[in-house]
Amino acid sequence: MSEGRNVKILITGGCGYIGSHTILRLLEAGHDITVIDNLTNSLPESLLRVEKLTGREVSFVEGDIADTSCLQKIFDQGNIEAVIHFAGFKAVGESVAQPLSYYRNNVSGTLNLLETMDAYGIRNLVFSSSATVYGTNPDMPLKEDLPLQATNPYGRTKQHVEQILTDLQAADARWRIALLRYFNPVGAHPSGLIGEDPQGPPNNLFPFVTQVAVGHRDRVHVFGNDYVTPDGTGVRDYIHVMDLAAGHAAALNFLAEHQGLHTWNLGTGRGYSVLEIIQAFEAASGTTIPYELVDRRPGDAPISLADPSRALYDLGWKASETLEDMCADAWRWQQNNPDGYRTKTSLPGEGPPC
Ligand code: WQD
């Protein structure tokens, strides 16, 4: 796969928040996209909107990466040269309550994907990992070579898959693999047509704030204000989802020219507290966000910050969107779509479900 050449890419979980924004970026770069998504946590409407924004079609297959015959049908159609693997459950709290379904879906599903890719000679992979693999390591900013110590089943599924991919690439150098560790993805495409659409009560801060702003929730519960941080509330490295999408495109281009397995933090290196986020969102949206200080959420680290210097050095990638952009774009999406992607629309290019 040579850099800059348009290739056909399979995106697992492509109907989701980060997947849909990454697909938009890849279509704009001229690549051809096929999506497999089981729609447990997303709606295909997101792809219809991506098609509308880009004027290009996406081939969509409703299916599960655990379904070998479904993957074979996609690969039999030929020309897939790389896979970006987003599909997976991602709620920390839910993973504590249902560890088996997380290991089954996130780890066994990935094993099936890898075995089928290998059988078809497809060995370029970008994997959606997470800063959660660092656990509560206090050494800020977090660097890629720190020991991994995930503290919850969700984070451990990411850590296990990273280890599986490391062993796979060590055993067979034909594999070219990028492990992308996301910090806190937020915001939306500036059009306001695509964005984050959590199914059920949001686990994360940003979608909770936007749902308060649009009147779906009455207040934000601030989880703890007794941390050793400037205002006592948790500090995180929030990164605009469009910067994250650009990071995926850069990693894909890098794999076209470089062998091996590579790990990159995708963050900004700048942290903001919960109260700073609320204030920034109020300023960007002109809304008032009521909040209540409550107890800490178990397992939360006081601070999580990326050292993104390796991605700058290797990929020439650096986040550029500001906190104001993140808030304004998130608000535009939520204001235009108070109920997210609630209408199911048939998709051009939609094959029959597997
Ligand atoms: C951010 C800050 C909370 C909600 C998680 C996953 C991580 C990644 C991103 C998948 C913290 C505080 C939150 C609320 C609050 N997901 N908060 N009230 O926990 O940093 O990361 O999501 O890859 O893997 O661990 O994100 O948005 O939940 O929390 O006060 O209602 O906001 O305590 O300080 P987190 P978050």
Question: CATH no. for residue 301?
Answer: 3.40.50.720
**Token reading at 261:** 């397995």
**Which residues constitute the domain of residue 140?**
8-336
Find the 205 Cα to ligand 1 centroid distance in Å: 6
> Are 319 and 240 within 8 A, CB to CB?
yes
Q: Rounded to the nearest 5°, which phi and psi values hold at 75?
A: -70, -30
Q: Is residue 134 a part of any domain in this protein?
A: yes
Residue 344 has pLDDT above 80, yes or no: no
**Token reading at 148:** 């991994």
> Are 297 and 246 within 8 A, CB to CB?
no
Mutate to test the pocket of ligand 1, among 140, 204, 225, 323 (most ligand atoms within 8 A of CB): 204
Candidates 17, 134, 154, 238; catalytic one: 154
Residue 5 has pLDDT above 90, yes or no: no
**Cis ω for the linkage preceding 185 (within 30 of 0):** no
Q: Is residue 48 a part of any domain in this protein?
A: yes
CA distance to 38, 255, 266, 317, per residue, from 179 (Å): 23, 11, 10, 15
Residue 348 has pLDDT above 90, yes or no: no
pLDDT in the model for residue 345: 46
Q: Is residue 342 a part of any domain in this protein?
A: no
Q: Is residue 292 a part of any domain in this protein?
A: yes
Nearest CA to ligand 1 atom 8: 184
d(CA 271, CA 256): 32
Q: Is residue 209 a part of any domain in this protein?
A: yes
pLDDT in the model for residue 7: 86
Residue 33 has pLDDT above 60, yes or no: yes
pLDDT in the model for residue 6: 79
Percentage of the residues of the chain whose pLDDT score is greater than 90: 92
Could you read off the pLDDT of 78-114 as tens digits, one per residue?
799 999 999 999 999 999 999 999 999 999 999 999 9
Query: Does the Cβ of 56 fall within 6 Å of ligand 1?
Result: no
Q: Is residue 73 a part of any domain in this protein?
A: yes
pTM as predicted: 0.96
Could you read off the pLDDT of 244-292 as tens digits, one per residue?
999 999 999 999 999 999 999 999 999 999 999 999 999 999 999 999 9
pLDDT in the model for residue 44: 94
Q: Is residue 1 a part of any domain in this protein?
A: no
Query: Does the Cβ of 305 fall within 6 Å of ligand 1?
Result: no
**Region of 13 on the Ramachandran plot (φ > 0 left; ψ -120 to 50 alpha; else beta):** left
As for how many domains the chain has, the answer is: 1
Name the residue among 186, 183, 184, 181 with its Cα closest to residue 158: 181
**Burial, 104: exposed, middle or buried (Cβ in 10 Å; 0-12, 13-18, 19+)?**
middle
> Are 241 and 21 within 8 A, CB to CB?
yes
Q: Is residue 24 a part of any domain in this protein?
A: yes
The sign of the torsion formed by the CA atoms of 210, 211, 213, 218 equals negative
Could you read off the pLDDT of 211-226 as tens digits, one per residue?
999 999 999 999 999 9
